[in-house]
Structure 1
Amino acid sequence: MTQDGSDSQLMTAVLTLLREAPGGQTEHALIVRLRDQGVAPFADADLADPMALFRTHFILFHSLYRLREQLAAQGEWLRIHCLDIGIDVLTPDSDGASGRAVAAGDPLRDYYLDLDNLDTMDRATVEAMLSGFWRRLDAGERRHEALELLGLEEPAGVEEVTRRYRQLAQQHHPDKGGDTETLQRLNEARMVLTTEQ
């Protein structure tokens, strides 16, 4: 990726799509819209290939962080998260904080603005990153399901989990009219919540 006309076209396309979705959008939705409009390099990206997926993600986030700096200078703030990308108007309360955030050392900003990180990435590293992402996502989903089963919400500490588990285990124990399957699910939920913290 260079700082030439094609880079400028990409930035313009991204900004246009962001303005068309004032409530924000996900990274995936933005990539799909860029692909559907034939914007390079998104138009031809094979997102099933880990390297192409990483490259697409990196180029988008590189563009977003560059846009954030431009928008901040114009009194706007660009939210950048894979699940929420959108533009907000800076208010007097947020202006100073947002300006400092652009100027201060943001490790993600620094990472995505350094094109060497894109150029030096190899397939093994990308695949390891994706594998780690899916493991963390699975752990988060398991935790959410366990909290739901026990009727708890975040943040739930070990003591609260144990107390709630004991209440439900006593209620659903087979010796007290409950069933074994429910008790086993409660046991698993407690293990997830007390060992994966």
Structure 2
Amino acid sequence: MSTFQLHNEIKKFIISHSEGFKEFELMKHLEENNDCIKSVDGTDELSLFKKHFLIMNALYKLQDCYWEEDKARLHISATRIYLKKFTDGDTYVHPSTDNSNAKLKEYYLEWSNLIEMSQQSVEQLLDEFWIKYYAIDKRSDALKLLGLSAQASHKEIKTKFKNLAARHHPDKGGDADTFIQIRNAYEILIL
């Protein structure tokens, strides 16, 4: 398995897709054109995770190379990956100080996360993802129920919950169903 060949193939793909691309497109390309990805047999969740991990590891390593060598920023997100060359007057945050992806980058650069991965741990990761994904979907309803903005801080959420819970608690003459809705909304928002 040669990560050098993988990096080179990804670099060629990035150059040929100047408008950007999705990880799935890159994976399909690499499955046909790169021995490193081809060597990961199977279509089960563990095999797909291994391919994903190898690709993300390479992308995050390339992100630093592009910054230092080419004065460009490789943007990596779940919806789009693209390279942006710097022009005069551009201001960019160095990839190592970009907190929005710092934890992901740290995860994908640590080889033990790939080596220690099992089918069971992939299933657990997927379950956790879907729980968080559905919580995001419910978050706007929960904010509306509590009368909060999308930018509400943890402290504001907690304070609002305490006030509403005290007002609607069944022991204080409130409606039990309303109290349960308030409690459920609070639990969604503190995830």
Q: TM-score, normalised by structure 2?
A: 0.65
Distance 1:33 1:190 in 2: 48
1:124 and 2:116 aligned? no
Question: One-letter code of the match for 1:84?
Answer: R
2:56 counterpart residue number: 61
1:94 and 2:91 aligned? yes
Structure 2: runs of 5+ lacking an equivalent: 161-180
User: % of aligned pairs identical?
Assistant: 25
Q: How many residues align?
A: 165
1:19 and 2:8 aligned? no
Q: Secondary structure at the match of 1:196?
A: helix
Match 1:32 to one of 12, 28, 31: 28
Give the deviation of 1:100 after TM superposition. 5.3
Coordinate RMSD, CA, aligned: 3.6
Distance 1:39 1:109 in 2: 23
Structure 1: runs of 5+ lacking an equivalent: 160-188
1:9 and 2:1 aligned? no
Match 1:141 to one of 137, 146, 162: 137
Match 1:79 to one of 75, 78, 97: 75
Change (3 A) 1:195 1:106: closer
Query: Does the CA-based 8 Å contact 2:63-2:95 persist in structure 1?
Result: no
Query: Does the CA-based 8 Å contact 1:143-1:192 persist in structure 2?
Result: no
Query: Does the CA-based 8 Å contact 1:142-1:192 persist in structure 2?
Result: no
Question: One-letter code of the match for 1:94?
Answer: T
